[in-house]
Amino acid sequence: MKLDGYKDITQLNKKQTILVDMDQVLNNLNVEWVRLYNEKYNDNLLYQNITDWIVYDFFKNCTHEQVWELLETPTLFSKMVKPLEDSVKVTEILSKFFELYIVTSCSHPNIILEKFEFVETHFPHIHRSDIVTCKNKCLIKGDYMIDDYVENLRCFDGKGLLLNTSYNLNVNLPDNTIRVTSWDDILMYFAIQNKELMNYLVKDMFECGESYIEKFDIKTVAGIKNYLNLK
């Protein structure tokens, strides 16, 4: 039954949803994880040399259990890790045009609290109520998902964006997924999908002039200029 004057608010100004992974997508976890390992177990491993998702095979000087124990180092997820380049800038822009949610796996209660602290410090435009902790991301629904683990995207119903890392460069992509190389690459992808976002970037470009180049990489600027030429 529909009441007089009733409006379905779920259909009003409904934005598409973007689900964003945290570890090695919003933060540089691998850099700090490898650093902790090298310091504790006297090795010289480079995170760029980790070329497979089964990471513990690359940590030669400790057991599998000790590899994962490093992730429980106090303040690793709150203060040691840093935002991935341009992730703060781009997610802030995307949050104006999309519903943005962080979907991340947490193996320990303390890690959950640290991740909340990290987001509140570096991503204040994402509210803690928009952080979803979930090991099985196949249960999560949305329009887009940005992740570094291809299996999370393989079972996703929407469009997947696989952010390049050393350990996923050789994986086969499912049909619903594309590769992206950086957060500026991600921004350009969504600007092409969303006319309002593209117009926002174009307006920003004209208002900022040459200083715009300092805010976004040359690939993004080229994409916007190409858009203007097509109009």
To the query of whether residue 21 is one of the catalytic residues in this protein, the response is: yes
To the query of whether residue 43 is one of the catalytic residues in this protein, the response is: no
The span from the CA of 160 to the CA of 179, in Å, is 9
* Predicted structure pTM score: 0.86
Hey, what domains does the chain have and what are their CATH numbers? 17-184 (3.40.50.1000), 194-230 (no CATH)
What tens digit of pLDDT does each residue of 109-132 get?
899 999 999 999 999 999 999 999
Residue 2: Cβ-neighbour burial (10 angstroms; 0-12, 13-18, 19+): exposed
Residues in the chain: 231
Strand 17-20 and strand 144-147: pairing? Answer: parallel
Cα torsion 50, 151, 148, 46 to 10°: value is -10
Kindly indicate the confidence band of residue 211, based on its pLDDT and cuts at 50, 70 and 90.
Answer: very low
For the residues 28-48, what does the mean pLDDT come to?
97
Q: Which residue of the set 4, 23, 43, 175 is catalytic?
A: 23
Q: Which residue of the set 4, 8, 21, 157 is catalytic?
A: 21
